[in-house]
């Protein structure tokens, strides 16, 4: 949290994470960090990497995986919108 606070105090407000960083825990940590002032931050996350091996619906750039991944990220981030969604390649 100290590093995050230093970043914010220096004027930082763009936060980039991904559904697969530390198996989703980075999004959970970020949720706690931004909960007091969500509107101050621009939140980006990514999708397309494999979430479930041997299941084609859980990887790739197709709509089904994107929608599933976004919904899961929104829950982990505890937010209503993602400001920027990247394809993780």
CA distance 4 to 23: 20
Catalytic residue among 7, 21, 47, 58: 21
Q: Does residue 47 contact residue 85 with C-beta atoms inside 8 Å?
A: yes
CA distance 67 to 48: 11
Structure-derived torsion over alpha carbons of residues 26, 27, 33, 38, reported in degrees to the nearest 10: 160
Q: Does residue 21 have an active-site annotation?
A: yes
Q: What are the catalytic residues?
A: 21
């Amino acid at each position: 949290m100290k590093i995050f606070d230093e970043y914010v105090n220096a004027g930082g407000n763009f936060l980039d994470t991904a559904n697969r960083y530390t198996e989703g825990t980075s999004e959970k940590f970020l949720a706690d960090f931004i909960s007091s002032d969500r509107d101050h931050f621009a939140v980006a996350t990514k999708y397309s990497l494999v979430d479930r091996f041997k299941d084609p619906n859980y990887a790739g750039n197709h709509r089904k995986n994107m929608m599933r991944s976004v919904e899961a990220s929104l829950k982990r981030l505890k937010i209503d919108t993602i400001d920027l969604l990247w394809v993780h390649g």
